[in-house]
Structures are given as structure tokens and as C-alpha cells.
Amino acid sequence: MPRRDAISDTADFDPSRRRHAEASERPTRIRVDLGALTHNLHALRRHCGVPVMGIVKANAYGHGLVPVGLHLQAQGVEQLGVAFVEEGIALRQAGVHVPILVMGGIFGPQVARFIVHDLEITVSSLDKLRQVEAAAEALGRKATVHLKIDTGMERIGVHSYSAGPFVEAAAASTWCVVKGVYSHLACADDPALPMTALQLERFLEVCAHFERIGAPMPLRHLANSGGVLHFPDTHLDMVRPGIALYGVLPDPASRPTVALKPALSLVSQVVYFKVVMAGHPVSYGATWAPAHDTRVVTIPIGYGDGYPRALSSRGEVLIRGQRHPIVGRICMDQFMVDIGADGTAYNEDDVVLIGRQGDAAIAGEISCEAVAQAAGTIPYEILTGLNERIPREYCGA
């Protein structure tokens, strides 16, 4: 349908849209509700009763590394966790001063950068411990480290059954201050799986070695989002919620044991309208064609933005509070939606890909979890795949 006059159509006029247009000409945007992050942080802390390490790796799960890091700091988060040293440095340069643990495996030539920027280091082997000691001694500054124990992931870390010498060497180190000891849960997203209990048992046995050798007990942290939600015994001295912090459940088997609020919405706008005749295929490969004449609109976002191509002819969007199917293959920069023979949509109408649309009484919602299920993947991949080509807006600070 033709473009409407947004100024004269006062019932649909939204001042925030005008402000957005001034800030970014692109109609597609990610909206991050910082108030939802605040709610989730406090809800998770109350649920666990211990300090929280907010995980902000992978661009804060698509929400924006620096804005989220600064906001969590303002809300009193005790610690932040990232994957790579570059993420930690970006936070430091933006003014984040709370402790930051880099959880990924370290690369020897980078070690000095950790120490210079006051980043806490994951030490995952005796060799890595020696690398950190050498860099710290060369700089004349002690390094703060967390010991990584492998209790069943087989990713990085010293095996729990052979961790004794590693613990002893770290405790005796002159240049490394052992602040924490941790492991990662492989199956906590599903509360029915027995692996978590076994990993907890292995982890606590390693921690007991500090007592056996008369060394101070470091900060013990084990619970990821699944552990936070389902396994209270894993909460220990600190928890590390990732995806739950952003209001999304980690797995279809996960239980909503904490009342969380999704913080991210993905919104675009209608940019084209046409009538497609019966039998005329839509998009690449001619994989879909309507059985009857129908109305199709085009949305300016695609897999080049990180919106999954797997949602081709499987995903849905909200337009004017109504669900409509994506039809044909999703393109790099746009996709098409069938609004039906009697459907109504105008150019510049908002389109919700993830989030809610409509007033509280009749709002429709497409959750990140539902998008992931339709795409045959996990919510983590949906969120972290949304790339920097999409502008981000923040509200609720």
C-alpha cells in the first residue's frame, strides 16, 4: 500500500520513530531495554544469594558490549566476564572499572596486555601458569588469576583427576594471585541430565585440595545460566549467568525458575508492498508461490545482518499485532512476508522479528526462543549472530 502521511496520522505517530530517523536512517534496529537487564540482575542475585559475574562476551550476547557493561557496573554487578582480552580492553577503555575475568584460553604473546589493563586471567595449565608468571615478573606487577578445572567439558582446563600439582604450583606462585577457581557445566541447561551432579562432585574435590595443603580457598564459581536456574548446589561463592541475564532461557528443557524479562527486541519496517498473483514464485530458487492471489511486503533485513536464512518459509513476524509468515528464501539484505489476500500493511509500518507488539492487553510476542526453534538452532546463536550492521537503541537506563 502507498506510503502514509505519518504526521497527519496522529493515532499512529510515534515520536521515538522520528528520533530514531534522526539518529540512523536505517529502519531496521535492535532495541535494548536496560531496565529489563536491571530487573534480571537483581532477580538472579536474589535467587542465588551470592555475587554475580555478568557475562558480556560476544558483544554482550548481541546487546552491545560497552553499553551493557557500563549499565551493569552502574547497577552494582560484582564482576564481568568476557571471552577475549580485546573485549576486556574495550570495556576498560570505555570506563568500566569493576573486575573483569577473561575466560578464554590465553595466547602467550597477549599475557602482558592482561596485566597492563588489570584484567583477570584464566590459567588452564601449568604451562600457562608459567607464562603468566614470566610476564608478571617482567612487568614487575602481580597477575590476578582464576584456575580453570576441566570437570567434563574437555575444552580447556586441567583435568580434575590430575589437578593437585596445578593447584599446589598456583598457590605457591610469587607473581600470581589466585583469586578464583572454576569449571564449566556441560549439561546444566537440562535439569534432567545427571552430568551436572558429577561435575559438581569433581569440582568440589579439587577445591578441597586447597584445604589439604593449607592454602586460602579462592572464590569458587561454577554455575552458568543453567546452573543458576536449576542447580542451587552449584551456586557456591559466585554465579556466572550469561543468556539468562538477558532474559532468555538457554534450552527448551530449561525451566523458568526465575521471573526474567527479555531485554532485546529486533524491529524493522515495511519498505515495499505488492500483490503477487497465484502461482508466481517469490525470492531465490522459486521455492514458494501462493496458491491464490495475495499481498506480500518486503522487510529490509537479511542473513547479512545475522538474521538466519534457516527461517526461510518457516519464520514469522508481527505486523499491526498480527502474525504473518515469511515466504520464500531470506536474502542477504531483505525478505518477504505474506500478509494474506485481505491483510493490511503500509510502508513504514513497524515489523517485529523478536519482541512484543501491541498494547499490554492484546500484545503479540515472538520470543528469541521461538525464533531459535523455528531456525533449528539455539537462542545463543540467534542473539550473538545479530551483527553490527544493525543499529542499536537503548532505553530504560
DSSP per-residue string spanning 11-31: GG--HHHHHHHHH-S-S-EEE
Are β-strands 176-182 and 219-221 bridged in parallel, bridged antiparallel, or unpaired? parallel
Q: Which residues contact 18 (CB under 8 A, 6 or more apart)?
A: none
User: Based on the number of CB atoms within 10 Å of its own CB, is 277 exposed (0-12), middle (13-18) or buried (19 or more)?
Assistant: exposed
3-state DSSP assignment of residue 230: helix
Give the SS3 label for residue 176.
strand
Query: End-to-end alpha-carbon separation of the chain, Å?
Result: 37
In the residue annotation, 284 being an active-site residue is answered as yes
Report CA Rg, the chain.
Answer: 24
d(CA 309, CA 303): 6
Q: Which of 161, 261, 284, 303 is catalytic?
A: 284
From the candidates 57, 61, 182, 346, give the one annotated as an active-site residue.
57
In angstroms, the CA 303 to CA 286 distance is: 18
**CA distances in angstroms from 7 to 4, 46, 148, 267, listed in the order given:** 9, 46, 58, 21
Distance separating alpha carbons of residues 383 and 354, to the nearest angstrom: 10
Query: Which stretch of DSSP H or E encloses residue 296?
Result: strand 294-299
Task: Give kind and range of the element (H or E) at residue 92.
Answer: helix 85-93
Asked if 199 and 191 touch (Cβ cutoff 8 Å), the reply is no
Our answer to whether residue 246 is catalytic in this structure is: no
Where on the phi/psi map is residue 218: left (φ > 0), alpha (ψ -120 to 50), or beta? beta
Residue length of the chain: 397
- CA dist 69 and 57 (Å) reads 10
For Cα atoms 390, 367, 37, give the angle at the middle one, nearest 5 degrees: 70
> Which residues have a catalytic role annotated?
57, 284
